[in-house]
Amino acid sequence: MARGTHVFADRKAAGVALGHAARRMRLRSPITVLALPRGGVPVGYEVARALHAPLDVLVVRKIGLPGEPEVAIGAIAAGGVLVQERAAARYLDTLGVAFQGLADAERVELERRERAYRADAAPLQLAGQTVLLVDDGLATGCTMLAALRAARKAGARSVVVAAPVASQEATALVGREADAMLVLETPPDLFAIGQWYENFGQVEDAEVCSLLTRHRETVTETSILDA
Task: Summarize pLDDT for 72-115 with one digit per residue, the tens.
Answer: 788 999 888 888 876 666 666 665 567 788 888 899 999 999 88
Q: What are the angstrom distances between the C-alpha of 203 and each of 42, 116, 153, 211?
A: 8, 14, 28, 11
Do the strands 31-35 and 130-134 form a parallel or antiparallel pair, or are they unpaired? parallel
SS3 69: strand
The pTM for the full model equals: 0.88
Min mean pLDDT across 8-12, 28-32, 104-108 is at: 104-108
Domains of the chain: 11-60+126-226 (3.40.50.2020)
Give the pLDDT confidence score for residue 223 in this predicted structure: 43
pLDDT digits (tens, 9 = 90+) for 114-144: 888 977 777 889 999 999 999 999 998 989 9
166 neighbors 186 (Cβ within 8 angstroms): yes
Contacts of 144 (CB under 8 A, 6+ apart): 36, 60, 133, 135, 138, 161, 163, 170, 174
What average pLDDT does the segment 157-177 reach? 96
SS3 212: helix
